[in-house]
Structure 1
Amino acid sequence: MKRNHILLGVLALGTLFSSCTFLDKMPDSRTELNRADKIERLLVTAYPTLMPMGFVEHRTDNVEDNGPKFEDSNLENHEGFYWESNSGTDWDTETNFWSTCYDAIMTANQALESIEELGSPRELEHSRGEALLCRAYTHFLMVNVFAQAYNGRTSQRDIGIPYFLTPEKSIKEQAKRLSVAEVYAQIERDLQAGMPLIDDERYVQPMYHFTTRAAKAFATQFYCYYEKWDKAKKYADEVLGTGAVAGIRDVAAYSRFTNVLEVTLAYIDPRSISNIMLQTTRSLWGRGLRHVRFAHSGRIAQNETYRSGGGWGHSLVHYDLLYGGAERIFTPKLTEIFEITNIAAQTGQPHIVAMPFDVDKVLLWRAEARVMLKDYDGAAADLSAWYLSKGGRAGDVATITKAYSTEVTNDTTEEEREVIEKRLKTIAKPLHPKFDLEAGTQTLMMQAVLHARRVLTVHEGTRWDDIKRFGIEITHTPADGKAMVLRVDDHRRALQIPASIRNAGMQGNPGY
């Protein structure tokens, strides 16, 4: 599909989706949870209704300043680009994210408490499992925003977040912030306790819940972040199998579509074998990522993401499903879905349907695990499967690592030096993780994994996690100022606890 064939179909979204099931909401029957069906309905609201993409994506190297000729009208984009805390409190902000996550955790805790009060009947084991997974997942999202990345060297000392285990009614002064290591240990306890209890048959709309497969996909991501790559590979194998991987997203098939809406619906189709779990959020990010001043530009696409060369060869031709001009390029996977709540007034709520877990993501998490376990051929096979699905070429360890090599020798030509200098600023930025990563093949294969994941998750905010986890320094250059560098140990990699929460007595992050 050519870019000039993508037409705006957003105006039709309100009518089309005003009664769609994935925007349905269940009543909060929290005050009288005396039956299994009430607890099941309550758990629909135990998933956070906001993802951090709307306030972390612009903190990454996926965007640049296109200059003052474009309107600087999105405050979250501006503040993110300058690595500042959000001054607002609504929509896609740190404050709203904390609030929605806290609400989700309290809902999960209320369900767990009510199950216990009912005597933990066997018929509610699956609900207990779902509640534990929701609690683990939401704390996982929060700790990766408001704390430094987990690592085995400093996380016993690094300040994390509270881990809420009871259905509190409000933030209390005694809500103690645990260390990052303590938070991760509790996430693991909830994850391991919850996974065996899940019963996929109990879900009416399984794609919007923690099914067994979704739980294992989450476990794959969690154990990559937890530096337990053997466990990450174990769970990835259980999701993907050990043979040819089915369900890698076939973006070439999207070429038959003629507008933004159709591409979006293909990405979030609950019937797609590519999707593992979908998550409905209340968000304006579908508008925010289209702003031009601070944007994923044509230059970045050409040199670092969609159209850059890499382990896949010259380009990923099937990924050229883009909309926009040279200053702003995006894949329409996160188009806003507007839910009309007042038909007469044509007013309602904007939503984004996020894809926290799909086959592509699990495949690249497994590739990461294989690199860390030094199974380089296995990692090359996973990467090659992904490359081929996006129009690239397959590669072996030698050809993939060559694409990211920055070694300079006495025989290096001036032309090769220029290529290396460019790589160091674009697709092979130096890695400084706080875990052991050997120079040579291991580092180069990890660069390949990070590059593929960066392309895969553009607009989704998870590049921020990789920047933190792998100690990647990035530079933002305002059009009217000098370059700014986010150093490896910069305190701004852990976003500040919202002011309202600090005012209620919670300890803030140091350095702000």
Structure 2
Amino acid sequence: MKKYIIQASVLALSAMALTGCDDFLDTMPDNRATLNNEEKITKMLVSAYPDNEYLYVAELMSDNTDDIGGPQNPYTHRWAEEIYAWKEETETRNSSTERFWSASYGCIAAANEVLQALDKIGELSPTLKECKGEALLCRAYNHFMLANMFCQAYTKNAASHLGLPYMEASESELVPQYERGNLADFYGKIEKDLTEGLKLIGDSHYSVPKYHFNVSAAYAFAARFYLYTENWGEVVKMANRVFGSDPRPMLRDWKALGSLALDHDIVSNAFVNASSNANLLLHTAVSEAGLIYGAGYSGGSLACRFNHCSYTSENEDMEATNIFGGSTEFYLSPASYSASNYNKVVWFKLPYMMEYLDIVAQTGYFRTVYPAFTSEELLLNRAEAYVMLKEYDKAAADLTTWMQNMTKSTKVLTPQVVSDFYNKAKYCYSDGAGIESALKKHLNPAFEIDDEGSIQENMLQCVLGFRRLETMHLGLRWFDVKRYGIEIPRRQMNAQGRPVLKTDVLTKNDPRRAIQIPLRVRDAGLEANPR
């Protein structure tokens, strides 16, 4: 297989993004040599969690976002225009795909430094065994998220798709050689790290477990991994390790959230509170997502032209008539904002705060906190696995638990109740122009499901609809779009907020479902994604 020459600074070593080449070569060997005790190793593992997020890019690319006003909207931004249109980005921001690539490989480099240091220590204390488990899980997770952004969705034919370089060792040379390999092998390496990490992970040495791969977060990651790789039985096993016999004590207290004043700061900070059982793993990131999905005009030009608009909300998700009723059934009400060239409906999930570089000049970085894994997502992942196993009563029980927790509905879902409701619902884009919204989307997964209108397909519509609500603004809808081959038309909204023009469509086999590899990485020799 062809070899590719990649600059280490581009692919794996995060320090090079912040310092000059000479500084890096001067200091890194000394830093590696000092990883010789528990305190230093646990501190190093803090660097194995990404400081840049994927969720805003994923939201822009998904069907959660529409074009409000088109090119005539003066409140726009070129970077957002490119991401929304599934084009290659020509500039970078803190939420850009290039920053996420660099941050993720930087985290992998930190995990590899820890693993290399632990190999040199030899006999490991209980704490260092847990650190090894954490490092393996961080390495697996960062590779997993890179694959979901920059590769096609996993299928049984993954060996025919491009993977990415899997970094299993620290680099000591400036121009190491890498090859992309195939996606099946790439996922095989993720699973190896994941399974080894699960054997070692523990919570005893964490001061704030929710910001690390604690045991529950590790099994939630495993459940998502096996869901995306179509290993339905393992999804159930991993979820059961977290929930035990009853998932309800692990779920978010939506009733309490709904009792708070509908204020962005108050609600969003409560949503990401580390004391919530629902938040299994929290990340911090340099990001404007808290502004974009915040109150009023916050987010400026980034938030105005492209956002989750009222038409989509009223017809597809947050404010649509659903199996539990309408939006008034939610404990936490959506917040809606509309003005000229501006329209968005949001839930206050993502806080924003300023990291000041100059307190006098009031300059610095916007940051946010977001849950990488939640118990509600885990519950819906288990529900999907049950549907694929055709254990419909168990799936309906999980869906009922989720629904009765997030909404005031007391309805009990059964396979027949779900099937009756979704058989009456319309599919999106069934009008002549192919732009009108409805509750259901046509599903085109690479794995086999029963025909449209079947109990299985209707149950999947319910799972995907609930998960879209659960993960709104958190980026995971994009991965469901990829896994299920959901087609998305790009459409412009008029002054009344209704779709009037289709400008593009993402087909089920569209190569743009895999984000293009960053330009500077390709310039260094790594193979591009097909276009």
Q: Give the TM-score category using the shorter length.
A: 0.7 to 0.9
In 2: Cα distance, 1:229 partner to 1:165 partner: 28
What's the CA shift for 1:284?
1.8
Partner of 1:157: 160
Q: Is the 8 A contact 1:401 1:448 kept in 2?
A: no
CA contact (8 A) 1:172 1:505 kept: no
* Contact preservation (8 Å) 2:67, 2:491: yes
| Structure 1 ranges of 4+ moved more than 4 A | 27-31, 169-173, 416-425
- 1:478 counterpart = 2:478: no
Would the aligned equivalents of 1:424 and 1:430 in 2 still touch at CA under 8 Å? no
> Could you say which residue in structure 1 is the equivalent of 2:296?
none
Distance in 2, matches of 1:127 and 1:336, equals 30
Match of 2:69 in 1: 67
8 Å CA contact 2:236, 2:382 repeated in 1: yes
Q: Distance in 1 between matches of 2:430 and 2:417?
A: 19
C-alpha displacement of 1:504: 1.0
Match of residue 207 from structure 2: 204
Note closer, same or farther for the CA distance 1:432–1:40 as it changes in structure 2 (3 Å cut). Answer: same
Separation (CA, whole Å) in 2 of partners of 1:301 and 1:482: 18
* Letter paired with 1:375: E
Matched with 1:357 is 373
Number of residue pairs the alignment of both structures matches: 475
- Residue 416 of structure 2 corresponds to 398
Looking at secondary structure, tell me which structure has more strand per residue.
Answer: 2
- Give 1:172 deviation, angstroms: 4.3
Deviates more, 1:476-485 or 1:80-89: 476-485
- Aligned counterpart for 1:463 among listed residues 477, 489, 494: 477
1:471: how far off? 0.7
2:481–2:487: 8 Å Cα contact kept in structure 1?
yes
Q: What TM-score do you get using the length of structure 2 for normalisation?
A: 0.85
The correspondence of residues 306-345 of structure 1 with structure 2, limited to 5 A, is 306-315=318-327, 317-318=329-330, 320-326=332-338, 327-345=343-361
CA distance in 1, matches of 2:405, 2:96: 35
Q: TM-score, normalised by structure 1?
A: 0.88
Provide the residue aligned with 1:438 in structure 2.
Answer: 450
> Is 2:278 aligned against 1:274?
yes
Indicate conservation of the 8 Å contact 1:30/1:110, yes or no: yes
* Structure 1: tracts of 5 or more residues without a match: 1-26, 407-415
Asked if 1:494 corresponds to 2:514, the answer is yes
Post-superposition CA distance 1:366-388 (Å, at most 9, x none): 11111011111111111111111
Match of 2:311, SS? helix
Alignment gaps of 5+ in structure 2: 1-27, 294-298, 494-499
Q: Deviations over 1:17-52 (max 9, x none)?
A: xxxxxxxxxx99545212221011100110111221
Partner SS state of residue 373, structure 2:
strand
1:508 aligns with 2:510: no
- Secondary structure, counterpart of 1:201 in structure 2: coil
1:413 match? none
1:470-495 superposed Cα distances (whole Å, 9 cap, x missing partner): 11111111358543110011000001
With over 3 angstroms needed to count, the CA separation of the structure-2 counterparts of 1:251 and 1:417, relative to structure 1, is: closer
Q: Distance in 2 between matches of 1:319 and 1:169?
A: 54
Indicate the residue corresponding to 1:264 in structure 2.
268
Question: Superposed, which structure 2 residues align to 1:402-417 within 5 Å?
Answer: 402-405=420-423
Does 2:135 correspond to 1:131? yes
Structure 2 distance, partners of 1:346, 1:503, is 37
In 1, Cα distance between equivalents of 2:38 and 2:332: 48
CA gap of 1:236–1:469, structure 2 versus 1, over 3 A, is same
Question: 1:147 matched to which residue of 2?
Answer: 151
Cα pair 2:427 2:442 within 8 Å, conserved: no
Instruction: Name the structure 1 match of 2:388.
Output: 372
Alpha-carbon distance change, 189 to 251 in structure 1, aligned in 2, over 3 angstroms: same
Give identity over the alignment, percent.
35
State the 1:95 CA deviation.
0.5
- In 2, are the aligned partners of 1:55 and 1:76 still within 8 Å (CA)? no
Contact kept, 8 Å, 1:310 with 1:404, in 2: the verdict is no
* Residues 1:418 and 1:203: Cα distance change in structure 2 (over 3 Å): closer
Partner letter of residue 66 of structure 2?
E
Whether contact under 8 Å (2:309, 2:344) holds in the other structure is: yes
Q: Counterpart in 2 of 1:305?
A: 317
CA displacement, residues 232-257 of structure 1 (integer Å, 9 cap, x when unaligned):
01011111123352232232322332
CA distance in 2, matches of 1:302, 1:369: 29
Structure 1 pair 126/372, CA: closer, same or farther in 2 (3 Å)? same
Task: In structure 2, give the amino acid aligned to 1:451.
Answer: G
Give yes or no for contact 2:355–2:366 (8 Å, CA) kept in 1. yes
Residue 483 of structure 1 aligns to a residue whose secondary structure is: strand
- Which residue pairs with 2:82 in the alignment? 79
